[in-house]
């Protein structure tokens, strides 16, 4: 089976991506785990380059990528540490944003499920992919600005198959792009952003839920820089905090060989 390479959160660290790719065979299939842009120094260059890879790369949407779409649509203000203005001012802005909002939220290949943040314990692999497709269709629709306006919020925190409309889509987006901790009933917590040992009382990392419907399938994800590199049989985290002065990490799948480059600290630790 041909190998593929999963790449952790870039967050605008384009120079480090080029360095990382020097250790990867030219033409190798790539899967980017989301957060292509924001907080790092070269968001526009990173977005342009990843787009230029065409069919060589599958690019998942992360929460920072969705934030860019919402800012561009006038739905959300920029944050003080955002590095999105050069994209918003770019002559190819419309082309880049249209391409970005057509990216998937989940991808299954070579026996593994790839997402940005996590998967709710109630979901199977098949349901995860189907729910991701529901949201992707809304993001690609002509009325995507109306959809983006309903995307933000922490409720509902618990999945129910009966959820509909904006509540259903918001729950799916929050799980796939923001998830860290869940409780025994599958409710999500969004307050705590520290590592796995900082779970609120009654909560656990989403991948530790004893009844996780995807337990038999390896899930490769990013998003959780305070968790860092995790290489379990059923859960692989590749966000190693490049933008925080950690590393940019990629993993060849299915043999799990790592490719890493050290990164300068672009942002000060938040505590």
If phi > 0 it is left, if psi is from -120 to 50 it is alpha, else beta; for residue 85 that is alpha
pTM, 2 dp = 0.97
Scan for tokens 């787009």, then name that residue.
Answer: 51
E-state strands within 47-150: 57-59, 106-109, 112-115
- Antiparallel, parallel or unpaired: β 181-183 and 230-231: unpaired
| Per-residue pLDDT tens listing for the chain (271 residues) | 678 999 999 999 999 999 999 999 988 999 999 999 999 999 999 999 999 999 999 999 999 999 999 999 999 999 999 999 999 999 999 999 999 999 999 999 999 999 999 999 999 999 999 999 999 999 999 999 999 999 999 999 999 999 999 999 999 999 999 999 999 999 999 999 999 999 999 999 999 999 999 999 999 999 999 999 999 999 999 999 999 999 999 999 999 999 999 999 887 654 3
Fold category of 4-262 in CATH: Purple Acid Phosphatase; chain A, domain 2 (3.60.21)
């Amino acid at each position: 089976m041909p190998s593929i390479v999963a790449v952790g959160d870039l967050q605008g660290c384009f120079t480090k991506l080029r360095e990382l790719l020097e250790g990867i065979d030219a033409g190798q299939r790539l899967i980017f785990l989301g957060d292509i842009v924001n907080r790092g120094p070269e968001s526009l260059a990173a977005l342009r380059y990843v787009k230029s890879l065409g069919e060589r790369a599958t690019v998942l949407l992360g929460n920072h990528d969705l934030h860019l779409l919402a800012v561009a649509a006038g739905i959300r203000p920029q944050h003080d540490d955002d590095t999105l203005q050069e994209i918003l001012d770019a002559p190819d802005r419309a082309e880049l944003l249209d391409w970005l909002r057509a990216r998937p939220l989940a991808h299954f290949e070579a026996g593994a499920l790839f997402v940005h943040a996590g998967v709710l314990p109630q979901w199977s692999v098949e349901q995860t992919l189907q729910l991701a497709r529901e949201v992707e269709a809304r993001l690609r629709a002509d009325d995507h600005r109306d959809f983006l306006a309903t995307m933000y919020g922490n409720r509902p925190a618990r999945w129910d198959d009966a959820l509909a409309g904006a509540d259903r889509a918001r729950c799916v987006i929050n799980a796939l792009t923001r998830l860290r901790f869940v409780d025994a009933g599958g409710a999500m917590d969004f307050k705590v952003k520290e590592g796995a040992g900082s779970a609120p009382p009654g909560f656990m990392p989403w991948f530790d839920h004893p009844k996780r419907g995807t337990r038999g399938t390896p899930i490769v994800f990013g998003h959780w820089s305070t968790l860092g590199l995790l290489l379990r049989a059923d859960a692989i985290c590749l966000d190693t905090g490049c933008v925080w002065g950690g590393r940019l990490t990629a993993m060849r799948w299915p043999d799990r060989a790592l490719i890493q480059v050290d990164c300068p600290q672009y942002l000060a630790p938040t505590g």
